[in-house]
Structure 1
Amino acid sequence: MSRIDSINREFTLNAPIERVWAAISDPAQVANWFGSKAEFQLQVGSEGWFEWPPEICEGRYAMRVEQVDAPVYFAWRWMAEQDVPFDEKQSTLVEWWLQTSENGTLLKLKESGFLTLKQQQMNVQGWQQELAELEAFVLS
C-alpha cells in the first residue's frame, strides 16, 4: 500500500525552547492543547494514547514514542482511528524539531505515512487548530 504525502508546518513561537519542549513532550501539558487527555512515558517504545472530548471526536488514539532527543527532537506514531490497538503499519509518524531562534523557538512539525488522502486532509485541518492551541498555551 503506498503512502500519501506528508504534512509540514514551520513557525516561530515567542517562548524559550524549554517551554516549547515541555508543551509537546509532557503528557500533562500536551493535554492542555492537544485533545483533552494524554498518557505516555517520555521514553522510546512507550505506548500511550491521546483523548478528545465527545463534541470533537470522542475516543482514544493509541500512540507510541519513537525517539526522544531533548530538547530538540521528539517523534511519535499514532493511529488515525480511535479506540483501536496500536499497529505500526497503520500509524503515521509525527516528528517535532525545535531550535532556538532570535525570536524564541523555531518549531518544525512533520506528519508522514498517511494511508489515505482523506486521513491526510483531516489531519491538515486538525493540525491547523491544534498548533494554534499549542501557540496559545505556550504563550499563556
Structure 2
Amino acid sequence: MIPYQRDWPSWTPTENMISREPDIYAPHAGGMEGGLDNPLGARALYLHQGGRDTLYRIHGTSQPWTIGQAASSGCIPLYNQDIVDLADRVRSGTRVVVLSPEESGHGTRPPGSLPPTQIGTELY
C-alpha cells in the first residue's frame, strides 16, 4: 500500500547498500537532500506492508539509463516525468501489486473499458 508520497524526497542508503558498496554509499550514510542528483528523483511513492515501511519505493531516478535494468536495491525506478505523472494520479491508500514476469499483463484491460470491481484501487 502507498500511505504517502514525497516531492523531491530525501534519501538514505540502507545498511546493506553501504556494506555492499561502501565507496559509493558510505559518504551518504547521513542522508541526501532531495534534488537533481538524488537517486530517488522527482517523486517517491512509499510502499508499506502491514502498516510497516518496506524500504521499497516507486520513484524517479537521477540515472535514467538504469531504467529496465537490474540496477536497483528492490525499488521500482521510473523516468522522472513518469513518476511525476503517476504521483499526480495516485492517492494515499492505493494498493500496489508487483507482478512477476510470468504474471505480466494480469489486470490489464482494453482501452475505454471499466475496471473490474475486484481490482478497486489496486495499481497494476
Q: TM-score, normalised by structure 1?
A: 0.26
- Higher helix share goes to which structure? 1
- Higher strand share goes to which structure? 1
- Bigger relative contact order, structure 1 or 2, given CA contacts below 8 A and separation 6+? 1
